[in-house]
Amino acid sequence: MRKLAVFFVAVLALAQAPSSFQPVGNMSQLMVDIIYPTSDAIFYVERNAPQNDHEWGVLRMNALTLAESGNLLMMDRRARDQGDWIKDSKLLIDVGTAAYKAAQAKDLNAVLALNEQLNTACVTCHEQYRPNYRRRTPPKQ
């Protein structure tokens, strides 16, 4: 029993230790330079569908980067909260992982089928955390 208590104290101490991860880019840079291009590769895959192993590899790389970007969003200094932010980031990981597996299988239809799921992941997060999302002023006439 004593060993179990010591184990839990050690785990608790590790959980409270500061993260050694050091973000390089800010949220805008992460979105513009990593998430937008990789999500666009999935969203618009049909425009220029992969035709050979190299192109499938590029799509696979984009899908993996998209999935891993969800982890970047959950880093201590980036996570806005431990509720919806984490849940939304995990949606991005899920869809990126599914796209990675589909690209690995060279299954274009499976990649295309992920569009709605990817759109939902993006919109769900942006509606809550992106200021003025969908609240643009109409142009004056």
Residue 3 lies in a domain: no
The reported pLDDT for the residue numbered 20 is: 77
For residue range 16-30, list pLDDT tens digits in order: 555 677 888 898 999
Residue 120 lies in a domain: yes
Q: Distance from CA of residue 65 to its chain's centroid?
A: 8
CATH code of the domain containing 51: 1.20.120
What is the residue range of 32's domain? 24-129
Q: Which of 124, 123, 95, 122 is nearest to 111 (CA)?
A: 95
107 confidence band (pLDDT: 50, 70, 90): very high
Of the two residues 41 and 140, the one the predictor is more confident about is 41
Give the amino acid at 103: A
Of the two residues 16 and 34, the one the predictor is more confident about is 34
How would you write 28-43 as a 3-class SS string? HHHHHHHHHHHHHHHH
Is the confidence at residue 115, as pLDDT, over 90? yes
Residue 4 lies in a domain: no
Is the confidence at residue 4, as pLDDT, over 80? no
Q: Distance from CA of residue 6 to its chain's centroid?
A: 36
Residue 8 lies in a domain: no
For residue range 81-99, list pLDDT tens digits in order: 898 989 999 999 999 999 9
Average pLDDT of the chain to the nearest whole number: 86
Name the domain count of the chain. 1
Residue 17 lies in a domain: no
77 confidence band (pLDDT: 50, 70, 90): confident
Residue 141 lies in a domain: no
**How many Å apart are CA 102 and CA 114, to the nearest integer?**
9
